[in-house]
Structure 1
Amino acid sequence: MVEAESSVFDLRGRVVVVTGASSGIGAGLVRSLATVGARVVATARRRDRLEALVADLPGADTLAVACDVGVDADRERLVATVLERFGRVDGLVNNAGISGSGVPATRQSTEEFREVLEVDLVAPFDLAKRVLPAMRAQGGGSIVNVTSTAAITTTSPTIPQAAYCAAKAGLAHLTRELAQQWGRYNVRVNAFAPGFFATEMTGSMTSEGRPPDWLADQQAIKSTGGAEDAFGVVAYLLSDAGRFVTGQQIAVDGGQTLS
């Protein structure tokens, strides 16, 4: 049996930044990463939520940083704060995202389209660039972009989301491009594409761990994703277990995108 100290999944002591950490998948990742000994920087716009999250993790080496990733100055301040506190960045999880109003493209304003792209695509690109020098100097790192099944299939049969689909598909391909460019620095870039996860946003649509019938009909596994499902794949990509994996998008969707 492999000892914990030498486990390729060991994340103890690694500095991991998680954006969009005040709720949902982001909050779940912060809790799980802190539990396994990572030094976690939790960031989102809602300071009160972040502080409550960190306070609920006694003994963990965590840092809450209020930040709007859609604002360039906030992104700059975030990375500077992380480096000042920890002196390094081992992992970046670009989880923050917005979906827009869910109206047909003919009614979606160009202003809203730009806003979604700024948060869901431009921000991950900019944050990745900002942590790269530290990762390169320390000999490597791992960036995990949270995309969506909307990066793989269209959403219009249920909720029309032109901006969201464009942003997430763009982020998936950006992942591949950055992986190609930065592999020489031992910086890996991958994507995690969640399907239907039980979160605050989807809570009203979930019944006894099952997604709505119209969605369950599309899935091979008739259940919802949970925090542990997100953590499993993200921990793999952040750890040495994923040492030889880069430029990949891994769908965790109960088989929704199989067809």
Structure 2
Amino acid sequence: MTEQVPAGGKVALVTGASRGIGYGIAEALVARGDRVAITGRNEDTLKEAVAQLGADRVIGIAGRAHDEAHQAAAVEQTMEAFGRVDYLVNNAGTNPVFGPIAELDLAVARKVFETNVISALGFAQQTWKAWQKDNGGAIVNIASIAGLSASPFVGAYGVSKAAMINLTLQLAHELAPSVRVNAIAPAVVKTKFAQALYEGREAEAAASYPLQRLGAPRDVGGAAEFLLSDRAAWITGQTLQVDGGIFLNAGVG
């Protein structure tokens, strides 16, 4: 049974949060006292995450991010459980292919955009209508450094994340002044989602980073917690690179 939100308490909806970056963000928000609704595709994994985060403060809503009925249900159930939804974190994403974009099946490209971009817009529309339009709040979109430059072999993912960054700008402009909208662009974070990029060669992968390590979910969680706080009250429309300094190497021969 979830607890009622105390006076002054805040509520967040974090998509794709049964593990990885989404879980790290939910964990950071719970640690500061927020109530949190998390979504994920796998109901069993979601239940485990709720139990770990604290079933007295967290609810889980299973479904696929690109499903409009799931988007509406997630916001509705958050409102029913907690009475408000101050913050939205659009973290759900997919990257089902590895190879040249010139040879990409267009059906796969559509799936990537449906999950990585259109679903984020859908969730933003739902939270806006349900709470934020009249009460304010903040949104954080999880983009990627893949959206900031060419991304060999994950081109569709990179293009979708570039669209997410521009979606952030559009929403920040339209929803101001009551709702702030920002994005975070991580580099490689040690999650199951990104495992193929470092598994069996983590030291080699980390060597190119000035900070000499790959990211952890808590690194993105801390950045999101900041952007979803009054300390970031004058920040909107920005994309924060959380990348271990990897972009410092751009242009270095």
Same fold (TM over 0.5): yes
1:8 corresponds in structure 2 to none
1:225 corresponds in structure 2 to 215
Q: How does 1:40-59 map to 2 (within 5 A)?
A: 40-58=36-54
The 3-state SS of whatever aligns with 1:170 is helix
1:216 corresponds in structure 2 to 207
- 1:215 shift after superposition: 5.7
- Alignment partner of 1:96 is 2:89: no
Instruction: Return the match for 1:137 from 123, 129, 134.
Output: 134
- Alignment partner of 1:153 is 2:145: no
Instruction: Return the match for 1:78 from 66, 74, 79.
Output: 74
1:74-116 Cα offsets, whole Å, 9 max, x none, are: 1111111111222211100000000121121232100000000
The 3-state SS of whatever aligns with 1:200 is coil
1:181 corresponds in structure 2 to 174
The 3-state SS of whatever aligns with 2:61 is strand
The 3-state SS of whatever aligns with 2:185 is strand
**What are structure 1's unaligned runs of at least 5 residues?**
1-11
Quick one: distance in 2 between partners of 1:213 and 1:182? 43
Q: Residue 189 and residue 97 in structure 1: after superposition, are their counterparts in 2 closer, same or farther (change >3 A)?
A: same
CA contact (8 A) 1:148 1:193 kept: yes
The 3-state SS of whatever aligns with 2:13 is strand
2:19 corresponds in structure 1 to 23
Instruction: Return the match for 2:193 from 201, 214, 225.
Output: 201
1:2-60 Cα offsets, whole Å, 9 max, x none, are: xxxxxxxxxx7210011111111111222222122110101011110111111123464
CA contact (8 A) 1:100 1:163 kept: no
Quick one: distance in 2 between partners of 1:21 and 1:38? 15
**What are structure 2's unaligned runs of at least 5 residues?**
1-7
The 3-state SS of whatever aligns with 1:114 is helix
CA contact (8 A) 2:86 2:138 kept: yes
Name the TM-score, length of structure 1 as normaliser.
0.87
Q: More deviation in 39-48 or 97-106?
A: 97-106
Q: Residue 254 and residue 211 in structure 1: after superposition, are their counterparts in 2 closer, same or farther (change >3 A)?
A: farther
Quick one: distance in 2 between partners of 1:41 and 1:195? 26
2:163 corresponds in structure 1 to 170
Name the TM-score, length of structure 2 as normaliser.
0.89
Quick one: distance in 2 between partners of 1:77 and 1:242? 29
CA contact (8 A) 2:206 2:213 kept: no
Q: Residue 155 and residue 61 in structure 1: after superposition, are their counterparts in 2 closer, same or farther (change >3 A)?
A: same
CA contact (8 A) 1:220 1:256 kept: yes
Residue identity over aligned pairs, in percent, reads 34
Q: Residue 58 and residue 143 in structure 1: after superposition, are their counterparts in 2 closer, same or farther (change >3 A)?
A: closer
Please provide the CA RMSD for this pair. 1.8
The 3-state SS of whatever aligns with 1:228 is helix
- 1:238 shift after superposition: 0.3
Q: Residue 203 and residue 85 in structure 1: after superposition, are their counterparts in 2 closer, same or farther (change >3 A)?
A: same
